């Protein structure tokens, strides 16, 4: 499958590349994404979109070759890979009572700044998870990934539960990351969002990926 075009001059080597990525449930997938590029994947519920992202993140059983800037994922520890290619699920998971416990101390300042930008507020970063709305949880889960300053983001419906103003705030931040060379692989059912982010569009059908018509 050809690489999607980045907003600026394309890189000579893909930032993220997949060859023969598959499991008993989905694939095979052959795909590449340059630095600073966004690719948006749509498709019916159950078509395999989340499976696709989870296999890239090394969260579900699979086989195939996955590379970041030419380096094989197989040569990295799983924890290192997930820091460099974090996955933000459509329904975020929280394993401690307070939000602040989900951030490393040295990243808290950045997390609070991003919380202000995304309309969550710093008080929520220091508060209990149980008091968060669905939209606040989703934005804070995105912030957990953003503070890692990773070269690739795997985002599964990151703005699904958000109001239009919050969607705009998230998209503004993602455009900044794209301009800085971060690559974004996005699951979204909103064609207009793909256009706004300058994304190459793909569709998942029967757990196989193809360019959107």
pLDDT tens, position by position, 159-210: 988 999 999 999 999 999 999 999 999 999 888 999 999 889 999 998 899 9
* Kind plus residue range of the DSSP H or E element containing 211: strand 208-211
pLDDT of amino acid 86: 96
**Cα separation of the two ends of the chain:** 14
Order of strands across the sheet that contains 16-22: 29-33, 16-22, 63-68, 71-72
pLDDT of amino acid 1: 43
pLDDT of amino acid 12: 53
Region class of 61: left (phi > 0), else alpha (psi between -120 and 50), else beta: beta
Query: What six digits make up the tokens of 208?
Result: 């196989």
Q: Please give the full DSSP string across 2-71, using - where no structure is assigned.
A: PPPPPSSSPPSS-SEEEEEEE-SSS--EEEEE-TT-EEEEEE-TTSSHHHHHHHHTT-S--EEEEEETTE
Contact yes or no for 152/84 (Cβ under 8 A): yes
Contact yes or no for 34/3 (Cβ under 8 A): yes
Query: What six digits make up the tokens of 193?
Result: 């969002």
Query: What six digits make up the tokens of 198?
Result: 């300058």
pLDDT of amino acid 6: 38
Nearest-5° angle of CA 107, CA 155, CA 60? 100
pLDDT of amino acid 168: 95
Q: Is 101 strand, coil or helix?
A: helix
C-alpha 34/C-alpha 68 separation (Å) is 10
Residue 38 phi, psi dihedral angles, 5° rounding: -120, 135
Query: What are the residue ranges in the chain where pLDDT is below 50?
Result: 1-11
pLDDT of amino acid 189: 87
């Amino acid at each position: 499958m050809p690489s999607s075009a980045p907003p600026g001059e394309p890189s000579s080597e893909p930032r993220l590349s997949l060859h023969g990525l598959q499991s008993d449930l989905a694939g095979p997938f052959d795909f590449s994404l340059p630095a600073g590029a966004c690719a948006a994947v749509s498709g019916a519920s159950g078509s395999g979109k989340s499976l696709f992202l989870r296999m890239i993140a090394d969260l579900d059983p699979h086989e195939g070759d996955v590379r970041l800037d030419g380096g094989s994922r197989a040569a990295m520890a799983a924890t290192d890979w997930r820091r460099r290619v974090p996955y933000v699920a459509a329904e975020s998971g929280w394993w401690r009572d307070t939000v602040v416990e989900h951030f490393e101390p040295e990243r808290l300042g950045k997390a609070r700044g991003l919380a202000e930008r995304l309309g969550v507020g710093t008080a929520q970063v220091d508060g209990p998870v149980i008091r968060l709305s669905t939209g606040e949880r989703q934005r804070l889960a995105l912030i957990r990934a953003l503070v890692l300053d990773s070269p690739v983001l795997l985002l599964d419906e990151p703005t699904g539960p958000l109001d239009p103003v919050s969607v705009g705030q998230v998209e503004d931040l993602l455009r900044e990351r794209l301009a800085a060379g971060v690559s974004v692989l996005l699951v979204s059912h909103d064609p207009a969002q793909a256009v706004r982010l300058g994304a190459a569009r793909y569709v998942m059908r029967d757990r196989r990926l193809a360019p959107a018509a």
